[in-house]
Structure 1
């Protein structure tokens, strides 16, 4: 049960992260100071360190919150009665929409990640999505709708590569149209020939 004190702490952390993200997006990550973040959050500068170790920590937290939102949606898709290929489609389109809505945040995180050569560089979403995709691909293989002669890991790497290649695409095509075309090609090549 959340006590009043715990709710106030959660509210403070949310205020800090929301104001930090807004400043990062308008002023730039490097040009935003902790003092500015805390002024916008209407909290004392020292309070920042009760919740975060650094600006980078806030950035990771903000991205983690966005990833958690997507994770909940992806888990619902996984549990749904959709066919495996429909599940993969919905997951990719959900991830694509999230990227499109949060491209500045993701770009900022990736830039920081590239610069942090000595820092741990694990994926911000961990292995959660990989495990969900493994279950869906195995379900599809078990139902005979996905090829069994291709290892699950290869299928998932190619599937995840659809989003990555769309994120890096230079084509004069709207992001989601590009992603849908790649998804169609992927699923047509993945399907078992009847």
Structure 2
């Protein structure tokens, strides 16, 4: 019985992963609004009705995809903190990981940019209690406050204000007309900001 349950759970896990992977491909090709659940399930090679065994809506699926980014960034931050790296280095690496993710998954950008007030968030996403993007602000604020406590980051500017500036870099880059890549643009802005906040 346990072996049978194990197989069933494995199958469910693989199906869920197939849906998430297919959603990345479909959202990247068609965009979030134009992609349908049928498109996603065709990509996952599963029946359309099966979708609702795993997700309540397309919006919930997007939130789950963003959860991957949250986990990646949190893992990298924990690893860097364990190595006792300087706060500014931790911030730079976390921000560049986010830049890479946003660059490769442009359909996420509207939700990411709307994180502060949920304006422009796809319908029903704001209703989820676990929209992952706002979770980055407390993370950055915590790193900045730790940096201030260690004397690595300026104390004359509130950590909350610096956190807002980090978040706004992505918005400025998304609308940039400069002839440089998204990630390079973020990196240049990030370095300028970090130079300005170092103690």
- Normalising TM by the smaller chain, what interval? 0.7 to 0.9
Shifted more, 84-93 versus 37-46: the winner is: 37-46
Counterparts in 2 of 1:4 and 1:183: CA distance versus 1, 3 Å: same
Moved more, 26-35 or 60-69: 26-35
Q: Report the aligned-residue RMSD.
A: 3.1
Count of residue pairs brought into register by the alignment:
191
TM-score (norm 2): 0.77
Gaps of 5+ in 1: none
| Distance in 2, Cα, partners of 1:140 & 1:71 | 17
> Could you say if the C-alpha distance between residues 181 and 167 of structure 1 is closer, same or farther in structure 2, counting changes exceeding 3 Å?
same
**Cα distance in 2 between the residues matched to 1:16 and 1:158:** 35
Q: Structure 2: how far apart are the matches of 1:134 and 1:36?
A: 39
What is residue 108 of structure 2 aligned with on the other side?
106
Q: 1:145 aligns with which of 152, 163, 166?
A: 152
Match of 2:14 in 1: 11
Mapped contact 1:77–1:91 kept (Cα < 8 A): no
My pick for the range that moved more, 31-40 or 48-57, is 31-40
What's the TM-score once normalised by structure 1's chain length?
0.79
Does 1:20 find its partner at 2:39?
A: no
Higher Cα Rg, which structure: 1
Question: Is 2:44 the counterpart of 1:41?
Answer: yes
Match among 164, 167, 177 for residue 160 of structure 1 = 167
Distance apart, 1:11 and its partner CA: 0.8
